[in-house]
Homo-oligomer: A and B are copies of this chain.
């Protein structure tokens, strides 16, 4: 049998992260590469209790569910989002298998081959992978510490007539930055004026450090729901646990309905067990208090990593202290190619994600993404010792 695959498979190149994860499956490697939340803070007793409450409701809990998602969970999520000043009903929402599926479904119903999607520079690597799999043309917009450069955004819209723009404005992956309110508003205004749909990916928004006021999502800045210029997606992976693999998308009911039809074809519905358990969790567990605990712990770890960064002698390395999320984006001297560095680092027993993975075009080669949520402090210190050995080698050879 000679298999005749579709053209699509050309886009399914195994990602750098995937290859790294394979390498780091050896026990002796300390991984600062992954995007894993810390198991220590998984509310396992509450999750177990939630599942048992579901089973108490009787055998019908094991039946097929709605494509749009378990209605009481949609109600619970809608209520939860009110504290973010987001006001939606169940018809404005679709439950997905992680927020990754929300990105995939929206791309499926919105993007034809060759259509342009604008992204941040750098941006989330899995989003690039999804957009490529749908044969979109991906164009990067220049960014600084405050978010997207609005002049470059206008310019790129004029130049490429994009259908959609993909952004992670709150504690972005990989750069860990938080857009200013002004940039959020500016992006929304420009995109609405030019009829460019904004896909706002917000997996980390609740992991805010410093205790200040929450930044408004771009979605919350628009009038909702009809005619909304934003589709917003988030997930329980970072605030409860990834194994339940449940995310959601909200937007104009017209867009949500199309995404639901695509989902009906793609997998009919997501796990109803997980959805029912998450609804029970909302009823019997203080999720907001739990989120406060997680972000306090993650902030502590972030500060530990920033301290370690300050102590290194990496010839002018730069980073922005993240205001939330799970990652620090470190820029090394320009002549250091972090893809090369990774090979040395893995030999030394430490892994990270090289910057190149986060660019749709013209990658910055001297950056790396470090995760601070998954390793404990002792591991982090040892990881930095190893990473320093690799960097010193690079600094000497070039």
Contacts and interface: CB of A to CB of B under 8 A. Distances in A.
Interface of A: 1-9, 11-12, 14-15, 18, 36-37, 39-40, 42, 44, 47-48, 51-52, 55, 58-65, 96-98, 100-101, 104, 108-112, 115, 126, 129-130, 133, 163, 192, 195, 197, 227-229, 237, 241-246, 252, 254-255, 258, 261-262, 264-274, 276-277
Given A258-B9, A268-B100, A59 B36 contact: no
A261 B4 contact: no
Contacts of A100: 265-268
A261 B13 CA distance: 8
Contacts of A195: 1-2, 4
Contact of A227 (B1, B12, B261, B272): B1
A226 B258 CA distance: 39
Contact of A97 (B2, B61, B97, B108): B97
B243 A62 contact: yes
Contacts of A110: 3-6
Contacts of A227: 1
Given A65-B243, A104-B266, A245-B272, 16 more contacts: A1-B197, A1-B228, A3-B110, A3-B197, A3-B255, A14-B261, A18-B264, A39-B59, A42-B59, A47-B62, A51-B51, A65-B242, A100-B268, A126-B268, A130-B265, A243-B276
A243 B1 contact: no
Nearest to A246: B271
Contacts of A273: 51, 243-245, 271, 273-274, 277
Contacts of A262: 8-9, 12, 133
B271 A64 contact: no
A243 B265 contact: no
Contacts of A245: 267-273
Contacts of A276: 243
Contacts of A261: 9, 12, 14
A90 B272 CA distance: 26
Given A243-B61, A243-B272, A267 B1 contact: no
A6 B7 CA distance: 19
A62 B267 contact: no
5 contacts: A9-B109, A12-B262, A48-B52, A97-B267, A243-B276
The 9 nearest A-B residue pairs measured at CB? A12-B261, A62-B241, A243-B272, A271-B271, A97-B267, A101-B267, A42-B62, A48-B55, A64-B242
B268 A271 contact: no
Contact of A63 (B65, B108, B228, B241): B241
> Which of A130, A192, A227, A268 is packed against the most chain B CB atoms within 10 Å?
A268
Contact of A229 (B1, B36, B37): B1
A258 B12 contact: yes
Contacts of A133: 108, 262, 265
